[in-house]
Structure 1
Amino acid sequence: MSNKKALQFLSDVIRARLDAELKGKKMVFPEFPQNQTEESNFYKFVRKNKLSANETVILLLALVPQINPGFFNAIIADYFPNGGDFPDFGGVKGKNHRGILPTGETALFILAGNDFEQRAAVAKLFGEPSFLARNNVLHLEHPGDGEPLMSGKLILDEEYVELFTLGEISKPKLSSDFPAELISTPLTWDDLVLQQKTRDEIKEIETWLDYNDKLLNDWQLKAKIKPGFRVLFHGPSGTGKTITAFLLGKYTGRDVFRIDLSMVISKYIGETEKNLSKLFDKAENKDWILFFDEADSIFGKRTNVRDAHDKYANQEVSYLLQRIESHAGLVILASNMKTNIDPSFTRRFNSIVEFENPGPRERLSLWENYLPKKARLDKNIVLKQIARDYDLTGANIVNVIHYAGLQTFEKKSGVISKNDLVKGIQKEYAKEGKMMRLG
């Protein structure tokens, strides 16, 4: 169904209601067009989600201002050619939009007229049981103190505005309204060197991503199993926690959003919860992976209440726990130390994965993986010995190669010297305050 046919259907519905209320004609609900040869995204959405006729009308009401600003005015003018106010129709004026912006009252009138029982039934379509509300497709804007609840504007989520008008939904960008950034990686699982125990635990997460929907639907376990999957990655910096989150998304076809905690945490009471609410509301019913890096800053241990600040800080943690537990997707928290995380969180994780410092065998694999194929090593460099003697993480090794590589180019040499390699290792040890044995 093209947008033109969709608007004609809505026009027919509105005119049928106006004829019934103003001219005393019998209300006959027009039939929604079926079996369209050229299906628009709107029609596909209606059919896929099996929307009722009332839900379809409400969705169209919310969409119309985006594609035809004068749509409602033109219809009303046919019935009131001399002008005049018709409060039963509802609707408000926008700050910039010059047409009528439909409200909940508009939907009640069009779908139920002045029938009280029918109006009550239509009003329920804006509540949690409704597909449109449950999936955050649209909502009623809060009308303000003292105003009737149904006088709030019908707001269509921006993603669905894009889907129905542009044909696709763009990825959300980092902003104050969405404190998370879409991230990806060119690396592969072969680039990630982990202990076998860690690899096995990562495989369990992949299994959940691949088969959870089948488990819940085929075995009908939705009522018995909590939604979502909560994971804690803990271990020293540079051991692969972040890359693992990226790769889980890459190889299961899911977007990974890294939460910018600096944009989430606020010193103002209630703002942190508001920022988290925006994030989880946007992520609801999306097949995303939410990644909280350095999660200690917000998931840390709750304190004894000594003052109002402590009280509200603890409330933030409690609110976060509630939202994570009810979120249906994969949430990954990363921390350098498991003991920094509040015990109330750790008890609720589905999986806790430890990322240990690599041993000599893993370090050798990291050196071999990260050294560029074009790089030539001084004959005095024995990688097996370097891997055995120097306790480095994957991130450390990348930094060492970076340093040694720059020194090699500066000297216009085609060979990485052992001296430059060792200096790079010394710099990494110094950053972490570790003593290095010179060989």
Structure 2
Amino acid sequence: MTPVDLFDRLARLERRIREAVAVRRVADPHPDDPFRGLYLSDEAIDALLDEHRQPFVPFQETPAEGRMGRLATTAGLSGLDVELLLVALAPDVDSRFEQFYGYLNDDVTRRRATTGLALRLCGLPEASSVGRTRLDAAAPLIASGMLVVEDRERPFLSRSLRAPDRVVSHLLGDDRPDPVLERIARVGVDPVPVPETERLARALRADVRLVHLRELPGGGARELAAAALSRAGFAALVVDAELLSAEPDHADLSAAVLREALLRRAGIVLGPVDTDPRLASLAHGKIPVIVHGTGGWDPRWSGAPPLQLDAHALSTTDRAGLWRGCLDGRVEAGLDPAEVTAHFVLGPGQIRRAARAATVSALADGGAVDVHHLRAGARSQNAAGLQRLARRVEPVVGWDDLVLPGSVTTLLGELAARAKHRDQVLDEWRMRPGGGRGRGVTGLFAGDSGTGKTMSAEVVAASLGLDLYTVNLATVVDKYVGETEKNLERIFTEAAGVNGVLLFDEADAIFGKRSEVRDAHDRYANIESAYLLQRMETFDGIAVLATNLRANLDDAFTRRLDVIVDFPLPDEELRRQLWDRCLGRLLPREVDLDLDFLAGAFELAGGHIRSAAVTAAYLAAEAGHEVGMADLIGAVAREYRKLGRLLGEREFGPYLALASEGAAR
């Protein structure tokens, strides 16, 4: 669309320049001198001495119209501000004004309006305090980035005025955002009606211009801000605070953010914010600034107190509606997306992205969206920070792969059920205790090495459609006082933004008993345990502590655990199943394998049986034949040697010679 109002204003400016040129010619002793403006003759100096510098014909203020009018209203610009901006941007719209200004500046190299020339073209004397204050650093034009005063080393009246390219392009009808903001900001975000939307919109309509949103797990601060801004008549300019603060030209980018918001009449949505966001560079009485983060507001960030709200998670009903709306009927018949992803902590924006990821996967598979697509899409929203602190494991085993007593699998199922239904129990039924306790689910897996603790954690994660994150103790334990707690805090903080199961293997190393204080080491060790006790209560995720030495865990942890699972050594019947399961269905076997003998003779845990089966497979592959008893007995002998056990006739019986031969290899 042609910006008619801008060209009409330029035409009026051109008429004033014609009058200014006529006045200039009257006082010019050599108007036809081809070198005029490159030197000063005696006659020119005399003419300057005789001239009394007067303003040109004053402008007639006209009603603000079109884009220029909307910008004036949004940015709080006066009629004089609009005319000063018009004078500055004229050469960027009509190249003739470069020559006009060069002539009026009496310097063909100065092709932009100077502050002195701009004031006189607006009908003001150069010494006018009213005009000069409209061009200082605190003036609306300058503070908002709509006008740039260059050549600061020059005297005030000979400094050049320039309108940024983004301002000119906007007034000419271009709505593309400033290219310098491409990395740190985007225009608009899909608004989702979330709790507190109407309250925030009411505050924005009442000219509240600073808001802090504390984002709770599953909350959508950006979506809440966008929905409220839309209801209040603003667009949304979403800025990544972490990327902005990391840029070396932070001040220039902040100015560009404010300018873009004013051009679009958009509120600035800034976050996530955990440290000082330097709000002074973004503050403007006409534009709302909505800051969001997982922490609280620090009064030092701004002298003005903000409106503080919490961005709560969607209700079950709203979450189900959002899933259905995003998938638009492309889901399998009878499948409820909200139900199969109920245990995922996802905000509105994450649900939208997860639904798109699930749809893309389903298209690649040539079918409708199923449970696996939905859960994979939900997992794709996990932050990557936790992978730097823990090893990510994508589960590949299920309940059928476990060979455990029925009582153990029942408790594992209870742990998974707690994770599935905690929204219903803790939120809808209000069974959540007070005291700032989190919504986490925590289990303890205790038992000897190889009894299936880690595999069970993987199965629980798989049943929930989650990834398993195994915490590496090397990244946690530190010899320096206080560093272990800091490392654990980083893990818990990152885990809060991840839908996964957090596994602390060998947990007794960091969750050990508190002891009597005999020296400073004992004191600090007890502080570490006390910190962990408090942090586990506020954890909102799913955590499993695995230990071979349950007695070494502090008793205070027991009360904070939801499920305690003791993993016994397998009996003979379970060992028989383990041998059969570990050998698998693809491994070629000799027909005379005596699995009953292996199960009855060797009291091994599942992990050792698995290791022996793999060793036997390698032995058979090297020899080029099917797996036989000789391979299995040799593999068991190797396991005995690793465990420090003797090869006795009581266990190996008729296979003792094979065992001795296998152990000697």
- TM beyond 0.5: yes
Where does the alignment leave 5 or more consecutive residues of structure 2 unmatched? 1-69, 79-137, 142-185, 202-210, 214-224, 230-235, 261-269, 271-275, 290-298, 313-348, 358-379, 654-665
Match of 1:272 among 454, 470, 484: 484
SS of the residue 1:269 aligns to: coil
Q: Deviations over 1:395-438 (max 9, x none)?
A: 1111111111111122122x222122112112212222334522
Match of 1:296 in 2: 508
Match of 1:325 among 537, 557, 560: 537
CA distance in 1, matches of 2:72, 2:537: 43
Match of 2:632 among 417, 421, 424: 421
Q: Is contact 1:292-1:333 (8 Å) kept? A: yes
Match of 1:44 in 2: 190
Match of 2:398 in 1: 188
Q: Deviations over 1:271-323 (max 9, x none)?
A: 11111111112222543321101111111122322222222121111111111
Match of 1:431 in 2: 642
Match of 2:579 in 1: 367
The alpha carbon displacement at 1:379 in A equals 4.4
Cα distance change on mapping 1:49 and 1:281 into 2, 3 Å: farther
Q: Is contact 2:452-2:606 (8 Å) kept? A: yes
Match of 1:140 in 2: none
Please tell me the residue identity of whatever aligns with 1:418.
Answer: M
Match of 1:352 among 557, 564, 569: 564
Q: Deviations over 1:223-264 (max 9, x none)?
A: 458632221100011111111111111111223211111101
CA distance in 1, matches of 2:191, 2:594: 61
Q: Is contact 2:386-2:494 (8 Å) kept? A: no
Tell me whether 1:260 sits opposite 2:472 in the alignment.
Answer: yes
Q: Is contact 1:231-1:352 (8 Å) kept? A: yes
Please tell me the residue identity of whatever aligns with 2:630.
Answer: N
CA distance in 2, matches of 1:71, 1:196: 62
Cα distance change on mapping 1:411 and 1:198 into 2, 3 Å: same
Match of 2:617 in 1: 405
| Percent identity between the two aligned chains | 29
Q: Is contact 2:447-2:566 (8 Å) kept? A: yes
CA distance in 1, matches of 2:539, 2:257: 43
SS of the residue 2:533 aligns to: helix
Tell me whether 1:197 sits opposite 2:379 in the alignment.
Answer: no
Cα distance change on mapping 1:201 and 1:107 into 2, 3 Å: farther
Match of 2:442 in 1: 230
Tell me the matched-pair count. 356
Q: Is contact 1:324-1:331 (8 Å) kept? A: no
Q: Is contact 1:179-1:261 (8 Å) kept? A: no
Q: Deviations over 1:315-350 (max 9, x none)?
A: 111111111111122211000121021112123212
Cα distance change on mapping 1:107 and 1:240 into 2, 3 Å: farther
Q: Is contact 2:446-2:549 (8 Å) kept? A: yes
CA distance in 2, matches of 1:417, 1:123: 75
Tell me whether 1:63 sits opposite 2:240 in the alignment.
Answer: yes
CA distance in 2, matches of 1:412, 1:401: 16
Q: Is contact 2:510-2:529 (8 Å) kept? A: yes
Where does the alignment leave 5 or more consecutive residues of structure 1 unmatched? 1-11, 25-39, 79-90, 92-100, 133-158
- Matched ranges for 1:84-99 at <5 A: none
Match of 1:242 among 427, 432, 454: 454
CA distance in 2, matches of 1:182, 1:313: 29
Q: Is contact 2:601-2:652 (8 Å) kept? A: no
Q: Is contact 1:124-1:130 (8 Å) kept? A: no
- Matched ranges for 1:92-171 at <5 A: 103-106=278-281, 122-123=305-306, 125=308, 130-131=310-311, 169=381, 171=383
Cα distance change on mapping 1:47 and 1:283 into 2, 3 Å: farther
The alpha carbon displacement at 1:393 in A equals 1.6
Q: Deviations over 1:38-77 (max 9, x none)?
A: xx99623654565535453899564278599865434778
Please tell me the residue identity of whatever aligns with 2:311.
Answer: F
Match of 2:255 in 1: 73
Q: Is contact 1:301-1:342 (8 Å) kept? A: yes
Q: Deviations over 1:113-160 (max 9, x none)?
A: 9xx9xx7774463xxx6339xxxxxxxxxxxxxxxxxxxxxxxxxx99
Please tell me the residue identity of whatever aligns with 1:131.
Answer: A
What RMSD, in angstroms, separates the aligned Cα atoms of the two structures? Answer: 4.1
SS of the residue 2:469 aligns to: strand
SS of the residue 1:251 aligns to: helix
Which of structures 1 and 2 has the larger relative contact order (alpha carbons within 8 angstroms, sep 6+)? 1
Query: What is the TM-score when the length of structure 2 is the normalising length?
Result: 0.47
CA distance in 2, matches of 1:298, 1:45: 44
SS of the residue 1:186 aligns to: coil
SS of the residue 1:299 aligns to: coil
Q: Deviations over 1:77-124 (max 9, x none)?
A: 89xxxxxxxxxxxx9xxxxxxxxx9524456655689xx9xx777446
CA distance in 2, matches of 1:72, 1:194: 60
Please tell me the residue identity of whatever aligns with 1:63.
Answer: D
Q: Is contact 2:438-2:539 (8 Å) kept? A: no
Q: Is contact 1:245-1:291 (8 Å) kept? A: yes
The alpha carbon displacement at 1:191 in A equals 1.3
